[in-house]
């Protein structure tokens, strides 16, 4: 019966494909996790942290460093654990089970951020209020579990359609995901002026609600005769995979390119609100509007690049997105007024949504099915290692050159242009198979 169901799914076209229950449920989870990404990672947590640390120029650069290092710490945890996730998928075939567990942990952590941000402690740690310390701690843990769930979620796309359908499904998922941004940012209408911590608990609840369709309407496909081995043996398999690099040169070259491209993306996502507020002097209210415009651009771009990837191939589509990212970063780094930054934000929105569509599709194209889970794990591993380096470099630049004020932030953002160009050069070395 299951094979018949899969066959019917593969034959669906057009809107019937998009609105089949499994694919719609999968796409709604993209909306759910995008709520966390936008509300916590990009907008309200950085604004909350800046408000807690201070508003002077030097203090703002220190706040930028604080935000960057918190993101880098979460990525360190991901680097430690992500290689295991792909191995778990290949051995057990279970994806939804771990998505459910990791999602619930993210929801609880986000709610805990809201609870501790509203409690005033008299104690301090290294001069930092204890309440702020707890909020940062739960931010790090929540971001870790959030990104961990995406390893299983991204790999799930290979179970939803044929090779020809995957670019369209991927584009649909990202587009629906950015609708989640619109839903998430609506929280701003119900919080007091400057009380950005009031957004944390509603964000956790919205994340949970939009995750429920995936929890209930997508079934795991567990593998039979699973060998009972220690989970830590997965590290050995990862090492062995790297030893076989010569056999999978194309995959590893692409992952190295993605390392640098994702470095720029992840850092920009984390620092976008801070940079706009500090350097361009865009208020929190105006930034919300800018972020909505960027989100709409992401929705349109992800749909368009789904079709571009289908027409010219995911390999070329990734390259087009990388070039667009370079243009956006150059405009943002040298933005002379708010209008220029609005242009940069819109272009970045297109690049962000499209990068996820094209890279996810390309990984499916070039990986053998029997090792797909493992390579998705390595794909995530590459991205998470870069998510340490980018924020760390950004934060270190703002720390060292804090006395230069806003110039320090422009220098930090400018470093991402170099990283993106390196990624494009390496991507050009991937041998495309015609």
229 pLDDT tier (thresholds 50, 70, 90): low
431 pLDDT tier (thresholds 50, 70, 90): low
- Contact (Cβ atoms closer than 8 angstroms) between residue 26 and residue 160: yes
Residue closest to 102 by CA, chosen among 221, 222, 208, 210? 208
Q: Reply yes or no on whether the pLDDT at 165 is more than 70.
A: yes
- Domains of the chain by residue range: 20-217+232-427
Angle CA(203)–CA(204)–CA(206) in degrees, nearest 5? 65
Average confidence (pLDDT) over 243-265? 83
Average confidence (pLDDT) over 395-405? 88
Range with lowest mean pLDDT among 2-16, 79-93, 102-116, 337-351 = 2-16
16 pLDDT tier (thresholds 50, 70, 90): low
Q: Reply yes or no on whether the pLDDT at 94 is more than 90.
A: no
7 pLDDT tier (thresholds 50, 70, 90): very low
Residue closest to 268 by CA, chosen among 61, 63, 409? 409
Average confidence (pLDDT) over 88-108? 89
202 pLDDT tier (thresholds 50, 70, 90): very high
Domain 20-217+232-427 has CATH 1.20.1250.20: yes
This prediction's pTM: 0.77
CA distances from 373 to 242, 363, 365, 378, 391 (A): 15, 10, 13, 9, 27
Q: What are phi and psi of 6, to 5 degrees?
A: -65, -40
Task: List all residues 6 or more positions away from 295 whose beta carbon is below 8 Å from its beta carbon.
Answer: 38, 178, 181, 182, 185, 349
> What number of residues does the chain have?
434
Task: List all residues 6 or more positions away from 56 whose beta carbon is below 8 Å from its beta carbon.
Answer: none
Question: Which pLDDT value is given to residue 3?
Answer: 46
Q: What is the DSSP letter of 227?
A: -
Range with lowest mean pLDDT among 2-6, 223-227, 365-369 = 2-6
Question: Which pLDDT value is given to residue 258?
Answer: 87
Q: Is the dihedral of CA 295, 297, 298, 299 positive or negative?
A: positive
Question: Which pLDDT value is given to residue 169?
Answer: 84
Q: Reply yes or no on whether the pLDDT at 172 is more than 90.
A: no
Question: Which pLDDT value is given to residue 330?
Answer: 96
- Contact (Cβ atoms closer than 8 angstroms) between residue 374 and residue 90: yes
How many angstroms separate the CA atoms of 133 and 118, rounded? 13
């Amino acid at each position: 019966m299951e094979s018949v169901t899969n066959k019917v799914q593969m034959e669906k076209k057009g809107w019937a494909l998009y609105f089949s229950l499994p694919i719609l449920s999968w796409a709604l989870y993209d909306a759910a996790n995008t709520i966390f990404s936008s509300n916590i990672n990009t907008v309200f947590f950085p604004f909350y942290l800046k408000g807690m640390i201070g508003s002077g120029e030097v203090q703002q650069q220190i706040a930028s460093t604080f935000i960057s290092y918190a993101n880098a710490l979460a990525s360190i945890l991901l680097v430690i654990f992500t290689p295991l996730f792909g191995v778990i998928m290949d051995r057990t075939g279970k994806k939804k089970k771990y998505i459910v567990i990791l999602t619930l942990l993210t929801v609880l952590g986000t709610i805990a951020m809201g609870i501790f941000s509203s409690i005033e402690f008299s104690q301090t740690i290294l001069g930092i209020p204890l309440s702020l310390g707890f909020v940062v701690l739960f931010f790090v843990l929540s971001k870790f579990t959030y990104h961990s769930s995406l390893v299983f979620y991204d790999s799930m796309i290979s179970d939803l359609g044929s090779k020809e359908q995957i670019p369209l499904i991927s584009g649909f998922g990202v587009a629906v995901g950015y609708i989640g941004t619109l839903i998430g940012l609506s929280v701003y209408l119900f919080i007091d002026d400057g009380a950005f911590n009031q957004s944390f608990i509603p964000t956790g609840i919205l994340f949970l609600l939009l995750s429920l369709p995936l929890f209930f309407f997508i079934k795991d496909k567990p593998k039979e005769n699973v060998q009972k081995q220690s989970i830590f043996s997965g590290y050995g398999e990862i090492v062995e995979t790297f030893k076989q690099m010569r056999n999978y040169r194309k995959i590893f070259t692409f992952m190295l390119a993605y390392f640098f491209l994702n470095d720029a993306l992840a850092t920009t996502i984390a620092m976008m609100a801070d940079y706009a507020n500090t350097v361009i002097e865009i208020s929190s209210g105006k930034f919300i509007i800018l972020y909505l415009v960027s989100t709409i651009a992401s929705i349109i771009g992800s749909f368009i690049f789904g079709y571009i990837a289908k027409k010219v191939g995911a390999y070329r589509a990734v390259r087009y997105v990388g070039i667009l990212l370079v243009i956006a970063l150059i405009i943002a780094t040298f933005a002379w007024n708010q209008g220029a930054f609005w242009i940069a934000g819109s272009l970045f929105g297109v690049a962000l949504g499209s990068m996820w569509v094209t890279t996810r599709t390309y990984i499916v194209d070039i990986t053998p099915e029997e090792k797909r889970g493992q390579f998705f794990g390595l794909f995530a591993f590459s991205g998470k290692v870069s998510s340490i380096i980018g924020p760390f470099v950004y934060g270190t630049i703002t720390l060292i050159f804090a006395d230069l004020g806003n110039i320090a932030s422009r220098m930090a953002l400018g470093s991402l242009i170099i990283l993106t160009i390196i990624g494009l050069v390496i991507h050009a070395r991937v041998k495309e198979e015609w």
